Structure formats: C-alpha cells, structure tokens
Copies of this chain bind each other. A is one copy, B any other.
Amino acid sequence: MSDRHSLSALMILKLGSLFTLSDEETQALHDLPIQAIDLKSNRDIVRIGDSSLQCFLILEGYASSYKLTPDGQRQIMALHIPGDIPDLQSLYLKRMDCSIASLSPCTVGFFQVEELRRVCARHPRIAAAFWRDTLVDASILREWVVNVGRRDAYTRIAHLLCEFLVRLEAVGLVQGGTFDFPITQANLADATGISAVHMSRALKALRDNGLIQTRRRYLSVPDWQKLQEAGEFDPLYLHLEDNVAAGLLRTSQLETAAL
C-alpha cells in the first residue's frame, strides 16, 4: 500500500508539472490500482499491432518506442523516462502503431485502461492533464522530425541529449549535470537515424569538444549553455510550466557556477 503511494507519486509529479491538480484529483490518481513489474533490458513491453487493455507507467529505467522497416532497420521515435505513460494512446486507439521496449532494466506499473477511462470521466481536469500530456508528446515528435530531417549527426545528437536532460530534470533525475545513461550507442543511433559506427564517431567529437563526459553508465554535461548551442536547442516545444522552466534556468546557472 505504501508502495502504491510511491509508485503513482512519480506520475503525479509529471502531470503536476503539466497542470495543477487538486487534492481530490491527486487522491483519485493515488487510488488507481497498479501492478508493478520488473523487466530486464531490451524486452518488448507492448508490440505493434497489439490491442491491449492495459497501459503502463515507467517507474524506473528507460524505454523506447520503435518500429522496424521491412529490411530490418530500426527507428526509435520516442524515449521514455520515469513518470511517462508511453502507451497512453491506448486510451482511444485500438491497436498499437509501434512497439515499446525497455532500454535498460526497468520497473513498470500496469493499470487497466478501463480504470483510467473511468477516472477521466469522473475528473475532467485529469482527462485534460492526460490529453495535454499526449499533446506534448506530439510536440516532441514534431521536433524529432526536424532533428532527423534537417540537422547533421553532431547537432542531432546534441539536441537529443539536451532534450533528455531537460526531461529528466523535470522529474528530478539529474544531479549537478549528471544523469544515469545506460543507453547503448546502437540505440542512440536508432533514435537519431544514423548508423552505430557514425554514432561512435560523433560522440567522440562531442567528448573532444568538452560538451559531454561519459563515465561508466553516467553522462555529464559540463557546460549546459554550450551543449544547447551545439544542439540548436530551444525548450519551447517541451511546453514546460513556467515554474519548471524557471527551475531549469536556475539549475543551469548553478551548474555553470559550479565550474
């Protein structure tokens, strides 16, 4: 039971960053029955074509939405972090149009789509918050089209890392510019539409230019300002609440000050 509390806390944090929730609404989310499951890395959670009656919330670890082309190439079109509900679309779409897999060891919490629909019907503002969440996901996808369509590999990767950092920061998973980063170069390549070999080259360039540091399974950003410039990054499209955006700015100042 206390488990439950901490499980949904993350989702509430996320939704709260998009939309201010009342106590009653918060309670309604707390009361959603949820079943937590642990997963190894690289496991499909849902598959393209599935029509599932459940949704899941990421509690720990990272996941990705992806598709395969007929010749076996893979494209990742979304990265998911703790607090995300990657298949929230199942609320209104019958079949999954992509697969979702863990990118690292993960804990995910499953709940019934039916239950979620009920909560949405009873609490229109929660429905609005979820809707808003899916709209932000769509906005991120628009930026990804730009990223993959018009930026060169170096810029593209810098942009991806900027976005990842900001999103992690919003759920409190960045400490002093450093965050957990167990994602392989092959996966990063699939997310940016380049080859794994070239990902290796480009990451080396980013390292050599002092934009990122990779130690073990962690990634650090020593100069947030410079990485943003390298990635042509403007967080507008993340539609953060003003207070969150302000927090980001503050953090970035702290970081640069810490140098």
Contacts and interface: CB of A to CB of B under 8 A. Distances in A.
Interface of A: 48-49, 65, 67, 69-70, 73-75, 77-78, 89, 91-95, 97-98, 121, 124, 127-128, 131-132, 134-139, 141-146, 148-151, 192-193, 232, 236-237, 239
A242 to B, nearest CB: 9
B69 A139 contact: no
A135 B93 contact: yes
A156 to B, nearest CB: 10
A8 to B, nearest CB: 22
> What 6 A-B pairs are tightest by C-beta distance, nearest first?
A149-B193, A141-B141, A77-B145, A138-B138, A97-B237, A92-B132
B146 A239 contact: no
Copies of this chain, count:
2
Contacts of A92: 128, 131-132, 135
Given A69-B151, A92-B135, A135-B134, A75 B237 contact: no
B239 A139 contact: no
Q: Is the interface of A mostly helix, strand, loop or mixed?
A: helix
A69 B237 CA distance: 14
Given A75-B150, A94-B239, A135-B92, A70 B232 contact: yes
A41 to B, nearest CB: 22
A155 B217 CA distance: 37
16 contacts: A67-B143, A67-B146, A92-B132, A92-B135, A93-B136, A95-B239, A97-B236, A97-B239, A121-B124, A134-B134, A134-B138, A138-B138, A141-B142, A145-B145, A149-B193, A150-B193
B148 A145 contact: yes
Given A95-B239, A139-B93, A141-B145, A69 B150 contact: yes
Contacts of A67: 142-143, 146
B145 A236 contact: no
A124 B121 CA distance: 8
